[in-house]
Structure 1
Amino acid sequence: MKQTITMLLFNNFTNDARVYKEGKALSDAGYHVDLICIQEAGKPVLPSSEQVQPNFEVTRVGGGKGLMWSRSIIAALLILGAMAELLFIAILSGLLLVALYVPKIKRLANLALLIAEMTLVARLRKSDFYHAHDLNTLPQAHIAAKWRWKKKTLVYDSHEVQTSREGYHGAIHGFVEAQYIKKIDFMIVENDTRAKYNEKIYGFLPSVLHNYPELDAMPTKVTSLHQKLNLPINELILLYQGVINPGRGLEKLVAAAPFFKEGTLVFIGNGRQKAELEAMVAEHDLAHKVKFVDQVPLAELKSYTEQAHLGFQVLNNTCFNHYSASSNKLFEYIAASVPVIACDFPEIKKVVQGDQVGICVDSHDPASIAKGVNEVIKNPQHYVQLKTSITAIKEKYTWEKEQNRLLAYYARLAN
């Protein structure tokens, strides 16, 4: 009989490559993987259930149904209270009904109902393992795994550093993580730097699973970026692909763009900072040097990336999560044979300088970024050396090899 793994994920599972690769690897190895994720508010409604491949199934919860039912129940209580002349119940129901239309309360109610639904669905599963992807699903997974007569194995797969992360309340998240970290059976983090950080604050060393790309993924053919952006065919594309959010050094990239001797800076992706960058480009009259492309499907991303002359990973040291990152983006550039201009943080520097696949710069300084770009552009021989180095080490950083760690972890837990 197949052992079953219930995974919990707090997004809609459309662009989460790490979770897709983990689920696929485990189902290929003979486990039955049941992924519970969410219908994200404000995004197209996706199927409530689907099969990714044999033994890998997805269930989506939420989508506003809980709030709709809550309003219906409260409205019914209001009518019954009024008919039965139970003034207190009628007034309380009326106040609750009105409150659920207040935007902030509505968002909080939606979140609470979503968490409750995910917890209930997970708890009803009869699985051997419960695998929480990040802190925002760990409480739900804990209830599902441990609030039962025969407790199940609880795995905590922390993709980020929860206690020091851009846009997050480190003290609150740190407190929550500290409470639940005592209740897990196994923990996974992205790299050795993060594992040592965890050991320092919690007293134990988690296991490591890098988020390397698949070597043999076959991206869909896409339109040429040069055609899409009306660029001359020989124009060098200097690419940032990924989420456009604060703390990633992207405003420094825009500030550096006027000093690039050649090439057009291209952003592929969406995010909270995109409007700010577009305004910055307009204000400084840089539309001829900086272009934007909306987020593309994950299956097509490598095909776009391969068209770049250089790729950027210029995280800023705004939190330990950034400082300790291995960076999916870095390995995606390597997989696409694109040399990298990168920040000099430990895990990234270890690859970029150690394997000679790019140049490390001061990612907080536009002048340093521009100097690194120009150094590569103006030295064709150096560029060829970087490309040669990437070809030599490309298979070193592949999911096909890394997934064996994950399978070994589960084999150990199963025994």
Structure 2
Amino acid sequence: MKKKVITSAFSNLYTDQRIEKVCRTLHENGYQIELIGNDWKGAEQMERPYRFSRIHLSSASLKTAYFEFNWKLYHQLKKKADQNTILHANDLDALLPNYLLAKKLNIPLVFDSHEIFSEMPAIQGKMSQKIWRYLEKEIIPKLTFMITASGSYAEWFRKKYGADPVVIQNAPKKLDFTMEIPNNDPKVFLYQGAINPFRGIDKAILAMHHLDGVVFKIAGDGPRKKEYEDLVLKEKLQDKVQFLGKLKPENLRNITVTADVGMSIEENGGESYLYSLPNKVLDCIQSRVPLVLANLPEMQNIKSRFDVGEIIKDHTPENIAAAVKKVLHKGRKNYLPELDKASDSLCWENEEIKLLEVFENASK
């Protein structure tokens, strides 16, 4: 009988594709999975083939929500964990209770750092950044099992804390691509993901002044949505920019496969963004959609291995438009051979082999 894995995250679980893929792989490979999240910002209905629950948070601010979640999570783990358990913490905001209990019970802990939490743009220069950095410094060097989402992240943790994380990219499952590529008129330029700062969305909106016969679709939701909707009105671009809202993963996939060009033009908003490999890059590759990419290490790395799109020179609207035109001029069909190669390499089927190895080692 394989061990019980208790996976926890400060998340409402609904849209977190990485956690879902990890839990499903472990579940399908005989581990008893229990997933714990929270209901911060809502708890949408969902079905999973394994047990899950959400901790109720009554905090009004994110700052107090973190404290409340960590306190309640510790007590939940204490009730549920035993000597036959592997604890699995996702990101720094769920690590402390897992670490304390793993130490107390002398049981294994696998830490999955989806990003460099202490270097995220939202906490730059704030008191909370000092707290997260302190936690990182105190706990990460003591961990035996750690995974992270990009090679650049792994290198950062290695240099900073002497950690040795296993890189498990957040790649989607392999998509058998048999569809006919649509002949869109106007052509579809797609952004998918959270509408956050430093994603280049505002610059891409302004780039639409330099693009004819193209519609820019923005699929997702987030704190900057209203600001960017206002920008579209101010720039009189309502006929060229569409906000599709937050979509279920399966509905989003149906949109992605119809696009002519995707984008991942993150700006350097701190080391977490600088070294990231955004999900949207791998999602577009599986959907055989060429991309306009930022000039950042992980995207340069993919572009050097597979010709899946164009790298922008900088974030000026003119240069973003020039890169979009270049992709459209070459045409989606002409990128297909390289997108096929990339999709064979950058898929969950390859990543889950490494994941299972980590949990087998933790089981021992």
**Hey, what does 1:167 align to over in structure 2?**
122
AA paired with 1:206?
P
**Hey, what does 1:11 align to over in structure 2?**
11
Are the aligned partners of 2:10 and 2:69 in contact in 1 as well (CA < 8 Å)? no
- Write out per-residue CA displacement over residues 191-250 of structure 1, whole angstroms, 9 at most, x where no aligned residue: 2211111111112322111110011499xxxxxxx9xxxxx9621110001100001111
SS where residue 132 of structure 1 aligns?
strand
SS where residue 167 of structure 1 aligns?
helix
Are the aligned partners of 1:268 and 1:295 in contact in 2 as well (CA < 8 Å)? yes
What are the within-5 Å matches in structure 2 for residues 142-161 of structure 1?
142-148=99-105, 151-161=106-116
- Write out per-residue CA displacement over residues 280-315 of structure 1, whole angstroms, 9 at most, x where no aligned residue: 111111111111111110122111101111001000
- Gap runs ≥5 in structure 2: none
> Cα RMSD between the aligned structures?
2.2
Change (3 A) 1:45 1:287: closer
Determine whether 1:405 maps to 2:364: no
Are the aligned partners of 1:6 and 1:129 in contact in 2 as well (CA < 8 Å)? yes
What's the offset of the Cα at 1:128?
A: 2.1
TM-score when normalising by structure 2: 0.91
Determine whether 1:396 maps to 2:345: yes
**Hey, what does 2:234 align to over in structure 1?**
283
What are the within-5 Å matches in structure 2 for residues 179-258 of structure 1?
179-216=138-175, 234-258=185-209
- Write out per-residue CA displacement over residues 147-200 of structure 1, whole angstroms, 9 at most, x where no aligned residue: 23xx11111110011232110244332111111214422111112211111111
Determine whether 1:59 maps to 2:48: no
AA paired with 2:136?
E
**Hey, what does 2:27 align to over in structure 1?**
27
**Hey, what does 1:92 align to over in structure 2?**
none
TM-score when normalising by structure 1: 0.80
AA paired with 1:179?
E
What's the offset of the Cα at 1:124?
A: 1.2
What's the offset of the Cα at 1:58?
A: 0.6
AA paired with 2:72?
E
What's the offset of the Cα at 1:279?
A: 0.6
Distance, in Å, in 1 between the alignment partners of 2:275 and 2:144 is 24
Determine whether 1:387 maps to 2:323: no
SS where residue 293 of structure 2 aligns?
strand
Are the aligned partners of 2:185 and 2:213 in contact in 1 as well (CA < 8 Å)? no
- List 4+ stretches of structure 1 deviating above 6 A: none
AA paired with 2:345?
K
SS where residue 359 of structure 1 aligns?
strand
Relative contact order: is structure 1 or structure 2 higher (C-alpha 8 Å, sep ≥ 6)?
2
- Gap runs ≥5 in structure 1: 68-102, 219-225, 227-231
AA paired with 1:376?
V
Distance, in Å, in 1 between the alignment partners of 2:236 and 2:212 is 17
SS where residue 119 of structure 2 aligns?
coil
Distance, in Å, in 2 between the alignment partners of 1:110 and 1:210 is 28
**Hey, what does 1:292 align to over in structure 2?**
243
AA paired with 1:368?
N
Change (3 A) 1:272 1:217: farther
Distance, in Å, in 2 between the alignment partners of 1:313 and 1:108 is 29
**Count of aligned pairs between the two proteins:** 354
Change (3 A) 1:14 1:240: same
113-122 vs 30-39, greater mean Cα deviation? 113-122
What's the offset of the Cα at 1:338?
A: 0.5
Distance, in Å, in 2 between the alignment partners of 1:217 and 1:276 is 38
Distance, in Å, in 2 between the alignment partners of 1:110 and 1:411 is 33
Change (3 A) 1:360 1:36: same
SS where residue 266 of structure 1 aligns?
strand
Distance, in Å, in 1 between the alignment partners of 2:223 and 2:63 is 21
What are the within-5 Å matches in structure 2 for residues 316-335 of structure 1?
316-335=267-286
399-408 vs 108-117, greater mean Cα deviation? 108-117
Change (3 A) 1:145 1:263: same
| Higher Cα radius of gyration | 1
Distance, in Å, in 1 between the alignment partners of 2:23 and 2:283 is 20
SS where residue 118 of structure 2 aligns?
coil
Change (3 A) 1:235 1:6: same
Determine whether 1:273 maps to 2:227: no
Distance, in Å, in 2 between the alignment partners of 1:19 and 1:336 is 21
SS where residue 277 of structure 2 aligns?
coil
Are the aligned partners of 1:119 and 1:140 in contact in 2 as well (CA < 8 Å)? yes
